């Protein structure tokens, strides 16, 4: 496997645990073997897996002995897309259902999926304040970008900060993400910095019924948002449309009236 340059995001990162199958370069690209039985070995494309890991860091989880949630979102088409990607990766058919009147969820009880994700370093249980990107997906530049794409699709947002100064009105496009996990937010900020995208982090009050303060990472300004759109962007249909309007310089009123898909 070709060497990778060290960046701020990878310094001090943990190495993959002993006994894991390392990623291999193949004619089909960078892939990973995930089945313990060599006669039934399944190869998966690392970019797709890294994206799903990113979505799960925001809206999924690994619980108990076999339960895995790939995605939760109010947009059914987005959840279906993530479920389709996860199903292709792991060779399973995720269960799609309403988690609440305004939220769809894709999940599976397949034990092998659970085992592989835990072995790859995905943390079990409820999201904690020390949540971070699994080490394997921090070490490769391509994987890091795919993780960010999934994470921003799950938890990111974008809009216009409209400010009035005297008779003048200024509109500043922004992209943001709010999480309670400081290590994860710091990783995201470092990866963005490696990509040449400046961001700032501030602290918000806990969400409703929450106890932990939110760390809010924001990318603000036309050029920074445009660079985010080019390098990371959104696949989520509603967020993608809103970001497109921001990059094209549409007014705040037009952006607020952007069509939304039914959940």
| CATH label of the domain that carries residue 248 | 3.10.28.10
Tokens found for residue 238 = 């509603």
In a domain, 49, yes or no: no
- Which of 243, 52, 261 lies closest to 146 in space, CA to CA? 52
**Rounded average pLDDT over 207-222:** 87
- Domain containing 185 equals 153-256
Max Cα distance, the chain (Å): 72
In a domain, 113, yes or no: no
Where does residue 242 rank: exposed (0-12), middle (13-18), buried (19+ CB within 10 A)?
A: buried
Look at the chain and report how many structural domains it folds into.
Answer: 1
In a domain, 224, yes or no: yes
In a domain, 230, yes or no: yes
Select the more confidently predicted residue: 105 or 258.
105
Q: What is the pLDDT of residues 59-106, one digit of tens each?
A: 899 999 999 999 999 999 999 999 999 998 888 999 999 999 999 999
In a domain, 68, yes or no: no
In a domain, 195, yes or no: yes
The helix/strand/coil state of 154 is helix
In a domain, 135, yes or no: no
**Rounded average pLDDT over 117-131:** 85
CB 104 within 8 A of CB 74: yes
What number of residues does the chain have?
A: 263
In a domain, 187, yes or no: yes
Q: What is the pLDDT of residues 230-247, one digit of tens each?
A: 999 999 999 999 999 999
CA distance 198 to 233: 15
**Rounded average pLDDT over 5-22:** 42
Give me the residue label for tokens 């009236």.
Answer: 257
Give me the residue label for tokens 């690209």.
Answer: 29
- Judged against a pLDDT cut of 80, whether residue 152 lies above it is answered with yes
- Which of 177, 172, 175, 196 lies closest to 249 in space, CA to CA? 172
CB 155 within 8 A of CB 148: no
């Amino acid at each position: 496997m070709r060497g990778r340059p060290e960046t701020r995001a990878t310094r001090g990162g943990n190495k993959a645990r002993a006994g894991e199958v390392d990623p291999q370069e193949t004619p089909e690209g960078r892939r990973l073997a995930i089945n313990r039985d060599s006669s039934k070995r399944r190869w998966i494309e690392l970019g797709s897996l890294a994206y799903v890991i990113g979505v799960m860091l925001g809206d999924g989880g690994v619980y108990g002995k076999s339960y895995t949630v790939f995605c939760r979102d109010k947009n059914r088409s987005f959840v279906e897309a993530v479920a389709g990607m996860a199903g292709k990766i792991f060779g399973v058919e995720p269960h799609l259902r309403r988690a609440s009147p305004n939220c769809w969820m894709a999940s599976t009880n397949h034990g092998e999926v659970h085992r592989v994700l835990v072995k790859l370093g995905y943390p079990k249980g409820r999201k904690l304040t020390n949540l971070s990107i699994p080490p394997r997906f921090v070490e490769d530049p391509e994987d890091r970008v795919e993780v960010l794409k999934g994470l921003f699709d799950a938890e990111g947002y974008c809009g216009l900060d409209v400010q009035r100064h005297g008779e003048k009105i200024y509109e500043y496009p922004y992209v943001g993400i709010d999480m309670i996990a400081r290590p994860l937010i710091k990783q995201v900020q470092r990866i963005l910095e490696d990509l040449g995208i400046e961001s700032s982090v501030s602290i918000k009050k806990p969400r409703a019924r929450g106890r932990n303060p939110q760390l809010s990472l924001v990318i603000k300004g036309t050029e920074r948002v445009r660079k985010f759109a080019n390098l990371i962007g959104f696949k989520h249909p509603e967020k993608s449309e809103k970001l497109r309007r921001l990059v094209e310089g549409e007014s705040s009123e037009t952006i607020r009236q952007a069509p939304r898909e039914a959940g």
